Structure 1
Amino acid sequence: MCPVSSVDSPRSNNCLPRIVTAVLLFFLSGGGVARAQPTPMSTGSGVRRIEVPPESAPASIEVSISSGLSSTILFDSELAREGVVLEGRERFSLLDIGQTTIRLIPSEGISSGDRFRLTVRFRDEAAPGSATFLLVAHPAKADPLLEVYRRKRGVETYREEAREARAEAQRCREENERLRAERSAPQGLAGLISSGLPGTGGVEGSSDLLKTLSRSPSNALLVRVAFSYRSARRVAVEVGLHCPKDMPPWRANGAMLRGKSGEELNVVQVWQDTPAPSQEYIRVVVEAEATPDAARGPFTLKLWEADGPRTITLGNVIFP
């Protein structure tokens, strides 16, 4: 087993917090101005709302999907079920076509970046008669609910979006203030772990997670060590990965911590030792927000790289 501190590197440039920026777009209008292409509207509740114009051949609507996660598309018009066509249908474990809904779950065989075209036709004769979706595979995240409107929306839906946008803007302001305050101090829980100082500053370490972890057979790298930690307001997972010399360098670009019931922790930073061509042992620390009474059940950790299909999935992650 490789020691946790077998790789030591400066962290001044690697532990900077990931500042999340949000672009909020909403409007309140009583008019019925036609749009030239589908207009996506994201909300703080995880619901996306799309308006498709009455003109023919609207642009494809991009939807994020992920292995094992459910995505539902809700329409304001009845579907012609026989007119629903999904490319690569055999690569989906579920395709459920309802009167006004489509629910799908990709199988474990899809890879990050895979694209599938979904075409739907509507039963009435109103325009547009069809809509096209481009399903794009992501390593860990999926759009849970997409609402598609062909007709003019009511004012109340715009008001709801405005309320959600204001709440999201306030959350982002609070998050940015917290991140700015942290920049003048050691970089949180991940900073202590990367410095080899667990057990200080109110950090509680767990037993070796390798005894209980479950590993996906499609993992890109071997897991050599794994530990979990908890502080007053944060949790963290540290993993040591083996990268063979003949394998291209691997760098973690993002991470997800999902609970048994589907809830996700807010990941605030992903830290990794700077990879070198001769480096076979990589340390990665994932830090997330969690109150003392939260994150008490088993979690699944998923790591992915920036521009490649190689992912790492570890199940049964337990925090102290």
Structure 2
Amino acid sequence: MHHSVSAVLLFFLLAGEGAALAQSPASTVGLSVRRIELASDDAQPAPEVAVSLGLSTVFLFDSEASREGLMLEGRERFAMVDAGLNTLRLVPSEKISAGERLKLTVRFQDGAAPASATFVLVAHPARSEALVEVYRRKRSVETYQEEVRQARIEATQCREENERLRAERSAPDGLTGLISTKVLSGRGVDFRDVTMDVTQGPGGAAGKQLVLAYRTARRVAVEVTLKYVGDAQPWTAVGATLRSKTSDELKVRQVWQSGPVAPGSDTQRVVVEAEAASESPQGSFTLKLWDADMRRTVTLGNVTFP
């Protein structure tokens, strides 16, 4: 069943009216390569590397590493630890907690300096660094050229994003703004009540009461009414991901919450807005929300769009 009146009211909110807690989290959609160069002394701090439940993080070393010399704090929190001579693949299991910090030390076989490398694995609720290249020796010209190429692509994307943000900031509020930025693009807003279909993961920081899914020509949004479930600490979502069953991730544009979920607050609304990957995103998505310390999350599965 599709509706349109309250949907337009929601997108008034997304356009900027009454967004007291509006936030625009940085997006890390897409796979990028992290490059780490090791110094020959112990002066540099241990680099932090993001890992996440069920997602692979692969280290690629330019020197052969010792499998016996691998030391991983909290090894039981990983579903896979696959160590090769030049590679190390890690997949965290459900035993890992968001915000947890675990030390990883890799020792090299050739005895050259530095003899080992230490990293701090930081558990993120939904995102991980897919590929980390680690260099002990002087890097080749080709790797620097590739890094420059990626930097140019990212700079171009940043310029385009800045131009889009400036255009949206200069647009009028309300329905006129939605029309001027082509969010509606002549088709209006469709929405669907998916409360009965959506499943909630165990141990959430708040309970779901109502879930509505919205779609326009260029955007999708999920509105979740959350209820207090007895957590003593107030909870406010600061970040979100929308990921399909095939691990495709929609680019989240902003997260808005009407107020903290806390004792006495009854219910609060959270709205997650994302770019539509296609005219009509197919299949179901998992919505994950997390707070500032990344330890308390809300996970909703089987979210579908009209």
Specify the TM-score bucket, using the shorter chain as the normaliser.
Answer: 0.7 to 0.9
Match in the other structure for 2:122: 136
The answer to whether the Cα contact below 8 Å between 1:182 and 1:188 also exists between their aligned partners in 2 is: no
Tell me the residue number matched to 1:124: 110
Alignment of 1:90 with 2:96, yes or no, is: no
> Could you state the TM-score of these two structures normalised by the residue count of structure 1?
0.81
Q: Is the 8 A contact 2:257 2:269 kept in 1?
A: yes
Q: Aligned pair 1:51/2:37, yes or no?
A: yes
Distance 1:56 1:289, change over 3 A: same
- Deviation, 1:201, is 6.8
CA distance in 2, matches of 1:294, 1:203: 12
Task: Say if 2:200 and 2:301, in contact at 8 Å, map to a contact too.
Answer: yes
Equivalent in the alignment of 1:209: 194
**Aligned-pair distance for 1:185?**
3.6
Find the partner of 1:76 among 55, 59, 62: 62
Contact 1:58 1:131 in 2 (8 A): no
Q: Which is further off, 242-251 or 301-310?
A: 242-251
Q: What's 2:252 paired with?
A: 267
Distance (whole Å) between structure 2 residues aligned to residue 318 and residue 164 of structure 1:
33
For residue 137 of structure 1, what is the amino acid of its counterpart? Answer: A
Residue in structure 1 matched with residue 86 of structure 2 by the alignment = 100
Q: Write out aligned runs for 1:249-264 (5 A).
A: 249-264=234-249
Aligned pair count? Answer: 285
Deviations 1:126-145 (A, max 9, x none): 21111001111111111111
The residue aligned with 1:111 is 97
| Counterpart check, 1:227 vs 2:212 | yes
TM-score, normalization: structure 2?
A: 0.84
Q: Is the 8 A contact 1:232 1:291 kept in 2?
A: no
Q: Which moved more, 1:113-122 or 1:299-308?
A: 299-308
Q: Deviations over 1:135-188 (max 9, x none)?
A: 111111111110001111111111111111111111111112111221244679
Decide whether aligned partners of structure 1 residues 73 and 294 sit closer, same or farther in structure 2, where only a CA change above 3 A counts.
farther
Deviation for aligned residue 1:291 = 4.3
Which residue is equivalent to 1:36?
none
Structure 2 vs 1, CA of residues 246 and 18 (structure 1 numbering), >3 Å: closer, same or farther? closer
- Separation (CA, whole Å) in 2 of partners of 1:81 and 1:162: 33
- Correspondences of 1:11-50 after superposition (within 5 Å): 11-14=17-20, 18=24, 45-50=31-36
Query: Alpha carbon RMSD of aligned pairs, Å?
Result: 2.9
**How far did residue 212 of structure 1 move?**
1.8
Q: Which residue of 1 aligns with 2:3?
A: none
Unaligned runs of at least 5 residues, structure 2: 1-5, 8-12, 179-183
CA separation of 1:282 and 1:45: change in aligned 2, threshold 3 A: same
CA distance in 1, matches of 2:190, 2:275: 15
Counterpart contact for 1:120–1:131, Cα < 8 Å: yes
Q: Report the AA paired with residue 113 of structure 2.
A: A
